[in-house]
Amino acid sequence: MEPDGTSVIIRWDAWDINIDYGTGPAGKYGVYYAKAGESLELCGHVYGTEKRIDDLEKETEYVFAISVFRNIDSILTEGVLTPEESARTGCGSKLP
């Protein structure tokens, strides 16, 4: 994770049939976040393995988790969330 004053860039490994649960392939990923101690909320879907989250509060602890979405018989199905990871925003300026 790359936190700065009001943004965090999170990166994760792509779903891998050799080490991850379920059957693939991953269609897209759901990105969840919240202030530490609050309930996670979905902030968006991405097809890659990176997401930038902007407009966060400075000097605040956040937690993040990822889920895998895949299409099963034309039904979009979501897997379980990863364990939460945390990052604290700083007091600096936004990432370029």
Cβ 28 vs Cβ 78: under 8 Å: no
pLDDT at 75 (0 to 100): 85
The DSSP secondary-structure symbol of 5 reads S
Per residue in 20-75, pLDDT (tens digit) is 777 677 889 999 999 999 999 999 999 999 999 999 999 999 999 999 998 888 88
CA distance 34 to 41: 6
Rounded Cα gap, residues 13 and 16, in angstroms:
8
Q: pLDDT at position 3, please?
A: 63
**Per-residue confidence band for 95, with pLDDT thresholds at 50, 70 and 90:** very low
Domains and CATH numbers, the chain: 2-88 (2.60.40.10)
pLDDT of 54 reads: 92
The model carries a pTM of 0.84
